[in-house]
């Protein structure tokens, strides 16, 4: 008989402001350990001590799981975030967006308020499409399959990338790039201590850029670029929020590329 799977979600808040969140899809025997890990993570976040931590555990039973391939991982090393942002524009253009649209996407992230979810942007009109602009669209029901976790960690370890930020971001970006109508994503964290970010798309893979914002800056977020000529926004949001998705392959992890080499490509 197939084992039931569980969705476990953590959200930590301080004075109604989001501090951290995480989710996993796991089997029953992993629940206890994971509750401990997520509690420790919520209490130890660099954005401060939460006054409210919510952990929910839901049996998702035998819901149809979609198994997807991960995006391959590349890292561009840059000296400062100005150069990082130049690389982001180039990666967005390599994903099929115009220079003007790519610049608009970057500007949107520079000025966005902290949200729990992502901005969903129509690449033709440059209008925001989320039903609730204060919350954004939050991707859930995504994780790495437990069958490949050990090998994944070994592969990431070899390149110095075995941390939660990278594992969770690659999983999320892989699901997002697979969503109907999504052509690219731009992200940098709102964590003031974490300055790396990425551009992700089917064309460029998960392209990590070592600096996309100044240290100490707590502005960050995600922009999902949506092509409304391909599908309806409802179909896209349904997939992002509801479809239970597991990644069942190890990504290819490329060697680091310098700013100069990437810009000359
Ligand atoms: P993080 O990388 O966790 O610091 O997240 C950076 C920003 O991405 C957050 O402030 C949110 O705006 C957005 N974000 C985080 N998690 C998700 C998610 N699961 N779905 C959509 N957007 C998210």
Quote the ligand 1 centre to 118 CA distance (angstroms).
6
Which atom, in ligand 1's list, is nearest to the CA of 20? 3
What are the distances in angstroms from CA 114 to CA 5, 124, 178, 208, 219? 31, 25, 25, 21, 7
Quote the ligand 1 centre to 221 CA distance (angstroms).
6
Residue ranges in the chain whose pLDDT is less than 70: 1, 62
Strand ranges (DSSP E) for the chain? 5-14, 17-27, 52-61, 66-68, 73-77, 119-122, 142-144, 182-188, 197-201, 205-209, 221-226, 245-247, 257-258
Task: List 55's β-bridge partners, or say none.
Answer: 10
**Predicted local distance difference test score (pLDDT) of residue 158:** 95
Sequence-distant (≥ 6) Cβ neighbours of residue 152 within 8 angstroms = 144, 167, 250, 251
CA atoms within 13 A on the CB side of 256: 12
CA gap 258, 56 in Å, rounded: 42
**Predicted local distance difference test score (pLDDT) of residue 115:** 87
Strand ranges (DSSP E) for 101-230? 119-122, 142-144, 182-188, 197-201, 205-209, 221-226
**Predicted local distance difference test score (pLDDT) of residue 152:** 97
Ligand 1 pocket: which residues have CB below 6 Å? Answer: 114-115, 117-118, 136, 138-139, 172, 187, 189-191, 220-222
**Predicted local distance difference test score (pLDDT) of residue 1:** 62
Instruction: Write the DSSP symbol of residue 14.
Output: E
CA gap 97, 84 in Å, rounded: 18
**Predicted local distance difference test score (pLDDT) of residue 48:** 84
Choice from 9, 220, 240 to test ligand 1 binding pocket (greatest atom count within 8 A of CB): 220
pTM comes to: 0.92
């Amino acid at each position: 008989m197939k084992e039931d799977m569980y969705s476990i979600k953590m959200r930590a808040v301080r004075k109604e402001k989001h501090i951290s969140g995480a989710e996993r899809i796991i089997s029953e025997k992993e629940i206890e350990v994971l509750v401990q890990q997520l509690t420790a993570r919520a209490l130890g976040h660099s954005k401060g001590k939460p006054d409210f931590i919510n952990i929910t555990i839901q049996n998702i039973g035998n819901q149809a799981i979609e198994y997807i391939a991960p995006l391959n991982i590349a890292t561009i090393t840059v000296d400062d975030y100005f150069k990082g942002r130049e690389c982001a524009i180039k990666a967005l253009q390599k994903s099929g967006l115009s220079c003007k649209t790519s610049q608009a996407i970057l500007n949107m992230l520079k000025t966005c308020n902290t949200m729990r979810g992502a901005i969903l942007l129509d690449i033709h009109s440059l209008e925001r499409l989320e039903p609730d602009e204060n919350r954004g669209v939050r991707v859930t029901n995504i994780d790495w399959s437990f069958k490949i976790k050990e090998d994944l960690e070994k592969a990431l370890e070899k390149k110095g990338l075995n941390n939660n930020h990278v594992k969770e971001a690659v999983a999320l970006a892989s699901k997002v790039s697979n969503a109907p109508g999504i052509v690219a994503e731009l992200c940098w964290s709102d964590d003031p201590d974490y300055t790396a970010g990425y551009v992700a798309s089917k064309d460029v893979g998960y392209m990590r850029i070592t600096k996309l914002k100044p240290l100490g800056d707590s502005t960050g977020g995600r922009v999902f670029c949506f092509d409304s000529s391909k599908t309806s926004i409802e179909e896209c949001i349904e997939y992002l929020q509801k479809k239970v998705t597991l990644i069942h392959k190890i990504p290819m992890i490329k060697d680091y590329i310098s700013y100069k080499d990437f810009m000359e490509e």
